[in-house]
Structure 1
Amino acid sequence: MNRIKYLGLFLIVLFLSGCMYPQSEKAANNLPNEAQLAQVQSAVNQFKEQQNGLLPIKTKPNETPIFQKYQIDFTRLKETGLLTTIPGTAFENGGYFQYIIIKPETEAEVKVIDLRLTERVRDLETKLHFYEQGNTYTPYDEQIVPGVYTLDYEKLNLDAPPTVKSPYTGELLPLYVNGSGDVIIDYRKDLNTFLKETDHSYQPGDDIRYLLTDETSLAPAYSPPYTIENGEPVFMKEAS
């Protein structure tokens, strides 16, 4: 009898701990699965067909970077009956991923942004903002290429040059600043890995960031454009 009693107490504690564990934390380490992506993709395709080519997206400024620009508006998909529930991995439902559309003029593919990248970028941008307010300039350090710079991390009271964990490979990717003072993520490590390990037909002049979305469900948020030279990823000159 005591064993049954203790088992009941254990199950109650287990149930309560599951209830108290935040949805965002439960979803934090889980990528959207194929079924979730396929469901949203189907809803987007149907919406596009019904609305004569319009997409269910939130309005963003024209200058918004391409991989952050076309965020899916789940409200519109639900209002039209094309989607009954928002994926649990979506930010709108407590998850860690922003669902977006890439290649809106053609395939309108559904991908996701890992919002932990957004948190890291915004944290650094906040430090930059406060520094610039007090010093009237951006603490650039070295030029990587024209228009892309490292930061003097010591002036920002950081212990080391700022990095973020790659959602693709787990590598630490550098955070830089462009000529407009925006924080960007340098994905060259990831791109180099994908160029070597996957079959592709990208040529010099092509935007090879799409290699990452060809092979995964993740979009390279906060990235400058890259192309390929001598088999290596490089910043696009006109976009750096």
Structure 2
Amino acid sequence: MRWCLSIICSLFIVNILSGCMGQETNASQSHMAYQSQLDEVRSAVLNYRKDTGVLPILNSTQNTPIYEKYRIDFKRLVPQYMSEPPSNAYSKGGYFEYVLIHPETDPQVKVFDLTLVNKVQEIEQQIQDYRYNKGYSPLGGVITEKRYKIDFKDLGYKTPPKVISPYSGKPLSFIMDNHSHVYINYLPDIEQAYKKSKQHVREGEDLRKLLVEHSLYVPVKSVPYTVKNNRVIFLVK
């Protein structure tokens, strides 16, 4: 009897420990940014700028998208301005690239998830391969000028791929421009943010700022959106 009780107790303890380890694993693998980490990085950035007169950012080009343009160079900050990069930073093997917005006026630290970037690049490469073999892109329909749906069946997908929005936690689809570049369609998030916003937005003004202002994340691999007749539309230039 004691032998049976001993086995039962041992199994019970193993199950508890396994559950705890599973929770820790899930927590470490979750794609979650934290305000405290962004605040720490911003403090280091501002102190670096105070001492050097410049911002600790990596080189970019004029063609680099605005929300990917000012990536933070942690090699300039460690160890003098912070002991090490955040644990979820790409330079530490994490999912996030840390970037600055408003670098000239009021530098703010945000992040974007590299798994979203990787998915866009994966689809874009498939489209390039398709174009090479077929001579044209897998268009699934016209959304508006220079914005197209993608025919994922032609690319071999049973169902269209999605990514999870860092803003709403809901699935987002993909679109393609006239150069066959792929983007995440943040339209549902933009519409929701616009409805909640009390700001007056002019026609032609980029609405992506509404996502950035109240979030830790930037809309990576995105296109501009604006409003016309109180309706959110793609801003095509």
TM-score band, normalised by shorter chain = 0.7 to 0.9
- Amino acid across the alignment from 1:61: T
Residue-by-residue CA offset, 1:95-133 (whole Å, 9 max, x unaligned)? 221111112222121100022211221221221122122
Residues 1-240 of structure 1 aligned to structure 2 (within 5 Å) = 6=10, 10=14, 26-52=27-53, 54-78=54-78, 81-238=80-237
Q: In 1, distance between residues paired with 2:157 and 2:61?
A: 32
Stretches of structure 1 lacking an aligned partner (at least 5 in a row): none
Q: In 2, distance between residues paired with 1:232 and 1:92?
A: 40
Aligned residues: 230
Please tell me whether the aligned partners of residues 173 and 187 of structure 1 are also in contact (alpha carbons under 8 angstroms). Answer: yes
Q: In 2, distance between residues paired with 1:230 and 1:160?
A: 34
Stretches of structure 2 lacking an aligned partner (at least 5 in a row): 1-5
Please tell me whether the aligned partners of residues 111 and 216 of structure 2 are also in contact (alpha carbons under 8 angstroms). Answer: yes
Residue-by-residue CA offset, 1:43-75 (whole Å, 9 max, x unaligned)? 1112222222x2111112220111111111111
Once the two structures are aligned, what percentage of the paired residues are identical?
A: 32
- Amino acid across the alignment from 2:47: Q
- Amino acid across the alignment from 1:191: I
Structure 1 residue 30 displacement after superposition? 4.4
SS of 2:72's equivalent in the other structure is: coil
SS of 1:78's equivalent in the other structure is: coil
- Taking structure 2 as the reference length, what is the TM-score of the superposition? 0.86
Please tell me whether the aligned partners of residues 172 and 186 of structure 2 are also in contact (alpha carbons under 8 angstroms). Answer: yes
- Amino acid across the alignment from 2:59: T
> Residues 96 and 6 (structure 1 numbering): CA distance in 2 closer, same or farther, change over 3 Å?
same
RMSD: 2.7
Please tell me whether the aligned partners of residues 31 and 113 of structure 2 are also in contact (alpha carbons under 8 angstroms). Answer: no
> Residues 170 and 74 (structure 1 numbering): CA distance in 2 closer, same or farther, change over 3 Å?
same
Please tell me whether the aligned partners of residues 67 and 219 of structure 1 are also in contact (alpha carbons under 8 angstroms). Answer: yes
- Amino acid across the alignment from 1:70: Y
- Amino acid across the alignment from 1:69: K
Structure 1 residue 193 displacement after superposition? 0.8
SS of 1:86's equivalent in the other structure is: coil
> Residues 27 and 227 (structure 1 numbering): CA distance in 2 closer, same or farther, change over 3 Å?
farther
Q: In 1, distance between residues paired with 2:223 and 2:117?
A: 15
Residue-by-residue CA offset, 1:118-160 (whole Å, 9 max, x unaligned)? 1221221221122122223222231211111111212101123
